[in-house]
Structure 1
């Protein structure tokens, strides 16, 4: 094992962190997934941190950091910035330890995350429209008042706290071969990878650790290629919980030597994974927490996996976002088709297409019929159909029947 891994939290530090955080966390379930096992041909387990207190693993690192503050530091209070899970972890930990907490959050933060952070007792200040502005405001308040700034991932105590999850995984699946972990700034995977690799070294075993980032917010692949943390421009992603533009310095050092591969998944793949977790595992998971399943389903993780654990890192999803993500997932799975069909402008055409769809045992849920559209002849109209199907084969059957009847349907993504 590289000395760089040992430069991060030692096993002793993570065992000490486990003793501390055990006072407040749940030992979350390790569920088997027969569906995913059939997909990859080997056993698959889901580590359900979506069922953790505060709804994510973040409580582990936050509580460990706050619990190790000196009495004088605790008296000064703590400050943090977050759009969600870190905010709730810090707020909860501060309440349990009797520490005043001020949390800066962006103005557009999801209402459930805002309400939960307030409910845990933190003073919440809304600032700016991106996470960068709350981060600057939190740093300024810490400098002005002496409050202790609690970083979301780039600190040894935070990494050691997240490493307790790695120890817990090894307790539940001691003979695992592969662990798949979501990556944002790198706090979770650096802790988990360090714990697992150090334990594996002691037992003479090898365990693969695979990280997964959202394709629209993936600084780790380019950073690992260049050998140093690189800041990138991120674009919108449904996996907002891992949308971080630059790796943490400590996290990068550990990941560089302890993580075997980092892959990316797009939003469509993540939405399909979230839908699979809802339907097959009966688990509510936020998009950032589902990227490991997305990587497995999309074939991004290569090689022989063996006994595999996927960390579901959180379950804090806004119901309104869930509604949109489910719709996106249905479309990505071809169970929801949006078709545009040019038709002759004469009576009976709408009824005829509806009859063809019905005969294919598909269900029309929305219809738009218009004469106004670019590229249409003056004697044409355009029909927009939203159709529920049973999957790719059924969707292709519907399209085939429409084409056989002389129509030219176009799938609109």
Structure 2
């Protein structure tokens, strides 16, 4: 019997409470998903319950998309049925990421096939969403204590990409989607380790590209070198850029780096930037968020690194943040494997960031890289010269590593699996 449609039924857990209790936001996101699938919307009805919960349904010409939420449990039940020939699963996974689902069971039914009930692309296993619960559990506990402590909130708002909270406790803290991005007490451990090794080893430092890093901290470290002639900084979120340029406490912490006349800020998607210009750079620094969902996973693909490579001058060097070799070893070593598949040689190294634990990076070049760094030539507080390779206790797993690519986009799945075990 011919397949008559695709039916996806979802149990989504650990969703963002505020969002799944907002009928208008859910309606907007569901309509965005249907537009992405090029489906015709006939009508949409959403209802908010008291004291909480939302139910909603969108009728489409090929069937329906519905949701019912229990915010008190962070749980949402979804149902998407379409007779369209387009695979609806990628768009649905993206929707789950937008509502902050930390985990989800996705049951797929091929409607019209006699004798077949549930199936999916991985045999009889349940599919898991690419979305990530917003923030880590430890971050939430600390953030809750901070909010209960009546500490000064310097900024609270929502951009197109993030919920943003900048707060002063004993330190300055930035949270995006309830996840800690930095503490001013120890951010130097991370940013010095990311930036200073590659800057010291690069034969030239005149032209530098920073991908991500809209808070201005990596840029602060780059600008310590007087021979830097020009820096292009690319970050997708204009609200983060605005805060880094204008919020006094943050400007003090980043030393006003985004106001330096050697810097050009590009508020756009990094993939769009590297695909759209022909500039060459002596140093490239990749300071992206963790590959926690479909969209961020695309920033760590073989194809993306190959595009970046085209902008790296012949003797140029690249540094890439790569998660924790201790907490997420498959993610860390898979990023290295993906960089190598893109034509690079890599040197893994790590530092200890008190807020995050052991954190790993890669130095990347077309040629072999020195085993030890020279003495650091600029002021530094948190790292030592002569950083060495990872110790034997942080070796690469023997199995489970991948080359992350657009056709095999699985880094976010590895990330979710490893985060769940921490």
- Structure 2 length-normalised TM: 0.27
The TM-score normalised by the length of structure 1 is: 0.28
The higher radius of gyration belongs to 1
Question: 1 or 2, which has the higher helix percentage?
Answer: 1
More strand by share: 2
